[in-house]
Amino acid sequence: MQYNNSEFLIETSVPESELIVSRTNLKGEITYANEAFADISGYSVDELIGKPHNIVRHPDMPKAVFKEMWQTIKEYKKWTGFIKNMRKDGGFYWVHAEVSGIFKDHILTEYKSIRTPMTYEQKLEAQTKYDAMKEAPGELKRKVIYE
């Protein structure tokens, strides 16, 4: 994978005052996105609804993180972790995410995620950890081209 979009290196900071919220069906397709999610991701709410949640997936994220997330939420447990997401313009934003099920009459019907900002130290720690995880066999490697 190669990225030569200069936006790739630009971070958008997550506002302290708003929660970034989305819901998905059981396949991970977005069924609800709030304005804060639209703003931070650079998509409109309409563009997000119906799309797989990997629309904001960043190539720096190891596959193993999402595998663990899905295993956890499928077992009806709450997953929390750090996620680097990619904006529509190629830039990125980091969030602390909580992902869990939505139950109707005790039956799992959807998933929801609520996200809050991270500190600089948390971002450094997560980027370092994910860079190391990316060295594992089966993970995609990326290359950034500076123009």
Give the three-state DSSP class for 126.
helix
Q: Provide the strand spans (E) within the chain.
A: 2-3, 20-24, 30-33, 79-86, 92-104, 107-116, 143-144
Point out which span in 3-11, 51-59, 101-109, 120-128 binds ligand FMN (CB under 6 A). Answer: 51-59
Residue 84: closest CA among 60, 65, 106, 100:
60
Q: Which is nearer to ligand FMN, 8 or 24 (CB)?
A: 24
Query: What's the one-letter identity of residue 115?
Result: R
Point out which span in 7-15, 57-65, 122-130, 133-141 binds ligand FMN (CB under 6 A). Answer: 57-65
Within 10 angstroms of residue 129's Cβ, the number of other Cβ atoms is 13
Out of 82, 92, 111, 130, the only residue in the binding site for ligand FMN (CB under 6 A) is 111
Contact between 41 and ligand FMN per CB under 6 A = no
Q: Which residues bind ligand FMN (CB under 6 A)?
A: 22, 24, 28, 53-54, 56-57, 61, 63, 66, 83, 85, 97, 99, 111-113
